[in-house]
Amino acid sequence: MPSESFLERPLVTRFAPLTLLVACALVIALERPRLGAKFAEAKVTSDVFVIPPPEQTRTASLGYYSAVADLIYAHVLVASGLHYQEKRRFEFVDKYLDTINYLDPKFRDPYRFADTLLTLQAQPVPFSNYRKARVILERGLKALPYDTELWSTAGQFLAYLAAPKLPEPEAQAWRLDGARMLARACELTSNNQNIPYHCINAATLLNEAGEHAATQRFLERVIQSNDDPQLQALATAALRRYVSVPASDDLKRRMARFNRTWQHDLPFITLAAVSVIGPPTDSARCTGAAQATMPACATSWNDWNTRVARVEADSQP
């Protein structure tokens, strides 16, 4: 039999698909606002931590420790932003960071941003997050002991961000520990031009904590180990303000004597280089016990400084 054409079909049959399509569109248009409102009301109220313990994660990584650490850290950054957008607290960020540190102890960024990820969230966080941030920062200082910016980050966090959250005298202890970390950052070489100026803040914190002897030793090291005239002037002014004018004058005289010795011997090298090489010594002139105590016969700058101080003390009336 010949097939029936479209026009020969009954009217109901011809327009049934179109009618069904229009009906579906109307139902969707009517139900979508109500379903959308219900979907908006449904919010995530808690997180789920699905990564196994660090030891098992390390085994499951099949030797790709750094790659897995990078992957987890990327997830942490994205999840932190989403939690902030949703105004929720990131609950398990400490566990993620512990796993990352275990997989790759030399991975620097998780240490540097641990305090931000743990404490600066959309919802108020318990103080346990501050303590955990300190634990992770100190873990990073052990893994990267010569990282200037990490020492500076840890010091600023303890002294300025975490300490105000604590009651006294624990807050004072955290400020003092932060000042010591800032002082350590000042002793390390860095391209960060702001690091040296944290030294004055560290001296202020040490002085306020009653650590006057430590303040003096620290400022003297800053003056002796830095050849920036502006920073030397700031450190000298702080030394005169926090310690005493005579101590500052004594250091100024020793520094002037050191500069004369340096410029007379090796004027073309840097302060760091001459600190490593040491003072000039004339072996023939320094022969004999009577000459061995002279500053010119010292074999290290520490020895030279001690002998100069002894000579100055003996020359005073």
What is the full per-residue pLDDT of the chain (317 aa) written as tens digits?
A: 455 565 566 666 667 777 888 888 888 888 888 777 766 655 656 677 788 899 999 999 999 999 999 999 999 999 998 888 888 888 899 999 999 999 999 999 999 999 999 998 888 888 899 999 999 999 999 999 989 889 988 988 998 888 888 888 888 889 889 888 888 887 775 566 666 667 777 777 777 777 777 777 777 777 766 666 777 777 777 777 777 656 666 666 777 777 777 677 777 777 667 677 777 777 767 766 666 677 777 777 777 777 777 766 666 55
Query: Nearest-CA neighbor of 252 among 287, 293, 220?
Result: 220
Asked if residues 208 and 201 have their Cβ atoms less than 8 Å apart, the reply is no
Strands annotated E in 71-144: none
Asked if residues 269 and 277 have their Cβ atoms less than 8 Å apart, the reply is yes
Query: Nearest-CA neighbor of 179 among 242, 227, 119?
Result: 242
Hey, is 7 helix, strand or coil?
A: coil
What confidence score (pLDDT) does residue 260 get?
A: 75
Residues 6 or more apart from 258 whose CB is under 8 A from it?
224, 301, 304, 305
Query: Nearest-CA neighbor of 243 among 217, 205, 209, 224?
Result: 217
Residues 6 or more apart from 49 whose CB is under 8 A from it?
91, 92, 95
Helices and strands: H and E segment counts in the chain: 15, 0
What confidence score (pLDDT) does residue 266 get?
A: 73
> What is the pTM assigned to this prediction?
0.67
Residue with tokens 């540097």: 112
Q: Which structure tokens are listed for 70?
A: 């990078």
The dihedral through the CA atoms of 303, 309, 311, 313 has a sign that is negative
What confidence score (pLDDT) does residue 23 get?
A: 83
Q: Which structure tokens are listed for 190?
A: 């860095």
Question: CB 117: neighbour CB atoms within 10 A?
Answer: 22
What confidence score (pLDDT) does residue 1 get?
A: 47
Hey, is 2 helix, strand or coil?
A: coil
In this structure, the dihedral spanned by the alpha carbons of residues 272, 273, 275 and 279, taken in order and rounded to 10 degrees, is -150
